[in-house]
Amino acid sequence: MTMEELDLSHIRNAEGEKLQYILGTLPGLSGPAATVEDVLFANESVRNLLMTAVQNQLFQKSKIRGALEASPLRGPASPTGPLIYEQQ
């Protein structure tokens, strides 16, 4: 999961730099003046990416919760059903 967080951090940083470039505020770089349409398109792109990132985080949370709630005492299935180990 740590690699996913790092990847997400890189994506968010790239999106921020894209907005800075479009707005002409990225240090050391300058491009043509952005139109209102350019800004609106970039804003929608960043918004969609962030919504996807939030959905990914919710999915990861669900997977972690499922792993934490899984019974550590349930063993592999046997012919009569799952083996249950007694706590000692």
33-64 residue pLDDT tens? 888 898 899 889 889 988 988 898 899 889 88
Per-residue pLDDT at 81 exceeds 70: no
Q: What is the mean pLDDT of the chain?
A: 80
Q: What is the pLDDT of residue 73?
A: 64
What totals of helices (H) and strands (E) does the chain contain, helices first?
2, 2
In the predicted model, what is the mean pLDDT of residues 74-87?
A: 60
Both tokens of residue 26?
């990225």
Q: What is the pLDDT of residue 56?
A: 86
Q: What's the CA gap between 82 and 70, in Å, rounded?
A: 14
Per-residue pLDDT at 12 exceeds 80: yes
Q: Give pTM, 2 decimals.
A: 0.59
Both tokens of residue 67?
């792993």
